Amino acid sequence: MLCDDCKKKPASIFFKDVSGGQIKEVHLCEDCARKKGILSEKKLSPLEVLQKLLKNTSYEDERVICPICFLNLAEFKKLGRFGCANCLNVFEPYIKSMIKEVQNSERHIGKRAKPGGRRAIEVFRLREELRRALEKEAYEDAAQIRDKLKTLGVENV
């Protein structure tokens, strides 16, 4: 069934109009319904909301810089992405309300990060050290590093 208004697109909105004193069946497509104010604004996805809000830039944005990765607020607004974990801390006051609109919420109440031993990072670091020690032929150092790795539970050193 085609739209009563534009007669081009398929009608997907059906309702009864009683304004003329009589009951009339109306069939409209989404676009005409929206133009007539019958349908509310098309719902945007969180990503679309984000992109819309990030267009709100200012010259000072370039001066707000993350000291760890050197991403600035202007770049963040252009890309819509953080450069590192610290960016959020630096940009928070400027993007707080944007996050609230994108996520429909402003606070995390779910699972929390548990403090961990970060064993894998330590293992990686020690393996690098071991490689450098072997290159330098510092075999005593290498043996010590190998022991440390063993205590961390690494079998295949």
Partner 1 sequence: MFDNIKWLISPDLNQESEENEIVVSTRIRVARNIEGIPFEIKMKNQDAEKLVQVVKSAIEMNFKGKYLDLQKMKPLEKESLFESHLISPAIIKKEQPTAVFINEKGNITIMVNEEDHLRIQGLSCGLNLTNIASAVYEFEEILGQELGYAYNENYGFITSCPTNLGTGLRASVLFHLPGLVYTNEIDKILKSTLNLGMTVRGLYGEGTEIKGNLFQISNQHTLGFKEDELIEKINKFARMLIDLEKKARDAIIERARYELEDKIYRSIAILRSARLINSDEVLNLLSAVRLGIGLGIIKGIEVNILNEIMLITRPGNIQLYYGEILEEQERDLKRAEYIRNRLAKIETTTV
| Number of Cα atoms under 13 Å in the Cβ half of residue 35 | 8
Contact flag: residue 97 with partner 1 (CB under 8 A): no
User: CA dist 63 to 16, 73, 88, 125, 130, Å?
Assistant: 57, 8, 15, 34, 41
> What residue has token string 């760890």?
68
Residue 38 CA to residue 46 CA, distance in Å, equals: 24
CA dihedral 69, 74, 78, 82 (to 10 degrees): 30
Using CB under 8 A, pick the residue from 24, 52, 119, 131 that binds partner 1. Answer: 119
* Number of residues in contact with partner 1 under rule CB under 8 A: 46
For the bound state, the minimum distance from the C-beta of residue 59 to partner 1, rounded and expressed in Å, comes to 22
At closest approach, how far in Å is the CB of 14 from partner 1? Answer: 10
Return the range that interacts with partner 1 (CB under 8 A); candidates 20-28, 55-63, 84-92, 131-139: 84-92
Of 3, 90, 95, 145, the one binding partner 1 (CB under 8 A) is: 95
Closest approach of Cβ 20 to partner 1, in Å?
26
Distance CA 19, CA 72 (A): 56
Provide, rounded to whole angstroms, the least separation between the CB of residue 53 and partner 1. 10
Q: Cα 97 vs. chain centroid, distance in angstroms?
A: 14
Binding site for partner 1 (CB under 8 A): 12, 43, 45-47, 50, 69, 71, 79-85, 87-89, 92, 95, 98-99, 102-114, 116-121, 123-124, 127, 153-154
